[in-house]
């Protein structure tokens, strides 16, 4: 990730200079997208380090969701940048400006090579992390954007169509919006504690009830704490004279092997027992005085 960050920052600086020299909005749009890539990579590294910190105090899960917040911030940044670029691109479609096509072609070609190297470097990271997946999506989208910019440069040189630069910019905007929507959708599901994709709460509840000792199951909650960290909690009622602890161990083993759920919290009671839903019985003032 550090190698990719270095490549992205160098290419971004080169592209900003070339954009002003050639008066190309497409190159400036690419540079803006790459700025979000650089921010995404910096945030990714910081979030991964925060996520490694152990749980303490009120942070009972530690800071594992720091990477989710980082990925969501990347999505929001992409939307803001895409809005600004789209506004300028539409203005240039109405009032075209002169663009130096040769410079656009050279920069786009260099960008494809450098961005390909950065993408290869990032592909070696753990893609199960939504944070890293977001960074890869950023950098991978740049490769397509550079391809569109290269085509725009060739069109300008061969036909003199100045609007090609603005059209390529709008193409980059579409890629930004698509990437941003994917990041915001996935991070939103995590923060709203929806069931992770690939996990069906009804199917899991059915598998729990399939145990011959289980009478019923309710209050099934399935959510994602952070990337590749699904969690489940449920209240299970078992038939007498089944051993509640033995049934719980069987269910935990089944959830682990069949559904790959390692972090489970199961409250297991006998079906004929009254389930306590209230807190401890308040003590009298004399009892509190003795205990103090």
Q: What is the dihedral of CA 12, 17, 18, 23, to 10 degrees?
A: 120
User: pLDDT (tens digit, 9 = 90+) per residue, 157-206?
Assistant: 888 887 887 888 788 888 888 888 888 888 888 888 888 888 899 999 99
Which two three-digit tokens encode residue 110? Answer: 């260099």
Is residue 258 a contact partner of residue 252, using CB atoms and an 8 Å limit? Answer: no
Question: Quick one: pLDDT at residue 33?
Answer: 67
- Give the best-scoring range by mean pLDDT among 35-39, 85-89, 125-129, 282-286: 85-89
Give the closest residue to 106 by CA, choosing from 188, 177, 48, 22. Answer: 22
Residue 161 has φ and ψ, to the nearest 5°, of -75, 100
> How much is the pLDDT for 60?
66
**Calpha distance 203→187 (Å, rounded):** 24
Nearest one of 144, 185, 184, 188 to 168, comparing CA atoms: 144
CB 65 within 8 A of CB 190: yes
Q: What is the pLDDT of residue 82?
A: 83
Please state whether 244 falls in left (phi above 0), alpha (psi between -120 and 50) or beta: alpha
Q: Say which CATH class 201-270 falls into.
A: alpha beta
Q: pLDDT tens digits for 242-278?
A: 899 999 999 999 999 999 898 899 999 988 644 444 3
Q: Which residues of 227-259 are buried (b: 16+ CB within 10 A; e: fewer)?
A: bebbbbebbbbbeeebebeebbebbbebbeeeb
The domain ranges of the chain are 2-191, 201-270
Q: What is the pLDDT of residues 74-130, one digit of tens each?
A: 788 878 878 888 887 888 888 777 677 788 788 888 888 888 888 788 777 766 667
- Distance (Å) of CA 14 to CA 47, 104, 191, 250: 28, 12, 37, 60
Q: Is the dihedral of CA 122, 29, 36, 193 positive or negative?
A: negative
Share of the chain above pLDDT 70, in %: 86
Q: Please identify which residue in the block is written with the tokens 């995590």.
A: 190
Across 45-49, 112-116, 121-125, 281-285, the highest mean pLDDT is recorded for 112-116
Calculate mean pLDDT across residues 216-232.
Answer: 87
Q: Tell me the fold of 2-191.
A: Alpha-lytic protease prodomain-like (1.20.1510)
Is omega for the bond preceding 241 within 30 degrees of 0, making it cis?
yes
């Amino acid at each position: 990730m550090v190698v990719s960050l270095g490549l992205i920052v160098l290419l971004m600086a080169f592209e900003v200079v070339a954009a002003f020299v050639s008066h190309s909005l497409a190159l400036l749009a690419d540079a803006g997208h790459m700025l979000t890539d650089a921010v995404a990579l910096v945030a990714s590294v910081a979030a991964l380090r925060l996520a490694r910190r152990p749980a303490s105090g009120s942070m009972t899960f530690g800071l594992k969701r720091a990477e989710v917040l980082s990925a969501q911030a990347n999505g929001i940044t992409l939307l803001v940048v895409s809005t600004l670029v789209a506004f300028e691109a539409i203005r240039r479609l109405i009032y075209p400006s002169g663009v130096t096509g040769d410079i656009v072609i050279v920069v786009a070609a260099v960008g494809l090579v450098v961005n390909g190297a950065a993408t290869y470097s990032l592909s070696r990271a753990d893609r199960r992390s939504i944070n890293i997946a977001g960074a890869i999506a950023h950098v991978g989208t740049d490769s397509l954007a550079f391809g569109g910019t290269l085509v725009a440069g060739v069109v300008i040189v061969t036909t003199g169509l100045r609007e090609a630069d603005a059209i390529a910019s709008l193409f980059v905007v579409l890629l930004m919006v698509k990437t941003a929507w994917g990041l915001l959708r996935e991070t939103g599901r995590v923060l709203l504690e929806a069931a992770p994709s690939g996990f069906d709460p009804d199917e899991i509840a059915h598998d729990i009830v399939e145990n011959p000792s289980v009478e019923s199951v309710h209050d099934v909650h399935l959510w994602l704490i952070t990337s590749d960290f699904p969690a489940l909690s449920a209240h299970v009622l078992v038939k007498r004279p089944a051993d509640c602890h033995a049934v719980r161990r069987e269910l935990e083993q089944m959830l682990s092997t069949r559904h790959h759920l390692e972090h489970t919290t199961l409250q297991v009671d006998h079906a004929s027992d009254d389930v306590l839903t209230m807190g401890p019985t308040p003590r009298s003032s004399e009892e509190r005085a003795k205990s103090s």
